[in-house]
Amino acid sequence: MTKGDCDKNPSHSSSTVSIKLETTDSPRSDHSEYSESSSIDIIDDGINRPGYCRRPWRYQSSNVEEKGLGYDNGDDKCICWGCHGISSFCFYFSAVFAAVVIPLLVIWAVSRQKPDLFLESITFDRYSIEEGIDHYGFNTSMVTTNSSLKLTFTNTATFSGIHVTSIPLEMKNYNQLPIATGNIPNFYQRRKSARSIDVKVEGSQIPVHIAPDDYVLGESIPLTLNMIVNSKANVLWILVTHKFNMNIECSLYMDTKKMGVPIPLTNTCKTFD
């Protein structure tokens, strides 16, 4: 190999390093000589900086595949920073999920405790039937009812209070005609607490279109009491919310001879969700 075959001072650039490779295959003959050369251009844009991951597609070779000239780019010793980023993201996401979401799910499951509404008794102060004229101008029977309902609302939840919306009440006769109504205003019930509520159920001059003889003093008159209870529990402000709806129906008998005597409602009510 002569001096012209190999440059002792290869040119360097700030961005490109050129490496000149020359191979000579000469049989033991003075008249035949075969030489081939191939060049590999390696783009050097800071490969020596710490944490750099060399990638094979950053190398450009003109004749590597033909001549089988390979190189060791050190990929087996290099771990890309993208892998570290994905691993870190998965770790922090799992930590946040375990620290925030799982406790919320536990609180959501535990806080689904339905409130309890217990109807204790109803007392009739007045129940009368008399002749009258309805709003159409026809003669009919008019019913006047004054009664008082006693009930207890209990919040069984451990973590949150309950906002209870207005509770409409309606009393119907055996023909399912409304004869009295009542309403419980909105209120807030703290956790693990209860309150007693007295509500008036009244109706004045309600047309029922029945004969007065259908009600005989001294007999039990069948009545039905319906009420709808809507409540909402907010756990951790508005992050977890539960809504509870109850439809309560009570069947009772009123004795016209026992005005002012409480009628128990313990075993006369049914609750529908």
pLDDT at 49 over 60: no
- Provide DSSP, 58-113: GEEESSHHHHT------GGG---HHHHHHHHHHHHHHHHIIIIIHHHHHHHHHT-P
Q: Is-contact 85 92, C-beta < 8 A?
A: no
Q: Tell me: the pLDDT tens digits for 160-175?
A: 789 998 788 999 988 8
Question: In this predicted structure, which of 48-62, 119-133, 165-179, 254-268 has the lowest mean pLDDT?
Answer: 48-62
CA dist., res. 181 & res. 225, Å (int): 9
Continuous H helices in the chain: 64-67, 81-96, 102-110
If one compares 37 and 190, the residue with the highest pLDDT of the two is 190
- Where do the domains of the chain lie? 16-77, 79-110, 114-272
Q: What is the pLDDT of residue 109?
A: 61
pTM, full prediction:
0.59
If one compares 115 and 36, the residue with the highest pLDDT of the two is 115
User: Considering the domain 114-272 in this protein, what is its CATH number?
Assistant: 2.60.40
Q: Tell me: the pLDDT tens digits for 70-117?
A: 444 544 444 555 566 777 778 777 887 777 766 666 666 655 678 999
